[in-house]
Amino acid sequence: MEKRIKYGSSLLFFLIAGLALYGYFYHISGHSTDLLNKEADIHVSAGDLIGISNNNESLFNHHYLYRVISVKGIVKGYGKSETGAYVIRLGTNPDLPALSVNCNLDSMYNHWGLPVRAGDSCTIQGTCAGQLKNVILVQCIIRD
């Protein structure tokens, strides 16, 4: 009887600890399913976003950095990153190899595939992570 109580208490402790860890990591992982229901803070075209990021970096950082934005543009290309996630490059003209908005899509597209092809016009919503040569959006979903 004493062994049952001992093992039962241990099992209950590990079950509660496991559920607490799961809840903690689920909360901090920033699932983009929240992004599906969230409205974008800013709506902008890919050309305007690229222009602002090149002309005035401090203005770009102040208005766009770490905010959920919706970007409309033409798909210049797409591929997979090192992690296996799809990355779509948005721009204003698919024939110009100039700067673009790199949209790192959510992992849900790894299972469904991409609903867009090069040359298509679409709107992508994601969190602005900054810019290097191109503007970078993460946790992106395709809106249309």
Do residue 19 and residue 86 come from a single domain? no
* Structure confidence at residue 69 (pLDDT): 94
Q: How does pLDDT run across 47-88, given as a tens digit for each residue?
A: 899 888 888 889 999 999 999 999 999 999 888 888 888 899
Q: CATH code at 51?
A: 2.40.50.140
CA 67/CA 39 separation, integer angstroms: 11
Do residue 6 and residue 40 come from a single domain? no
- Output the pTM of the full model: 0.70
What integer best gives the mean pLDDT of the chain?
83
Do residue 63 and residue 3 come from a single domain? no
Do residue 22 and residue 37 come from a single domain? no
Do residue 75 and residue 119 come from a single domain? yes
Do residue 65 and residue 1 come from a single domain? no
CA 140/CA 70 separation, integer angstroms: 9
* Structure confidence at residue 112 (pLDDT): 72
Do residue 23 and residue 58 come from a single domain? no
DSSP code string of 88-113: EEEES-TT--S--EEEEE-THHHHH-
Eight-state DSSP code of residue 39: P
Do residue 82 and residue 47 come from a single domain? yes
Quickly tell me which residue has 């079950």 as its tokens. 15
Give the residue numbers spanning the domain of 5. Answer: 1-30
Contacts of 100 (CB under 8 A, 6+ apart): 46, 50, 76, 89, 90, 91, 134, 135
Do residue 37 and residue 96 come from a single domain? yes
The total domain count for the chain is 2
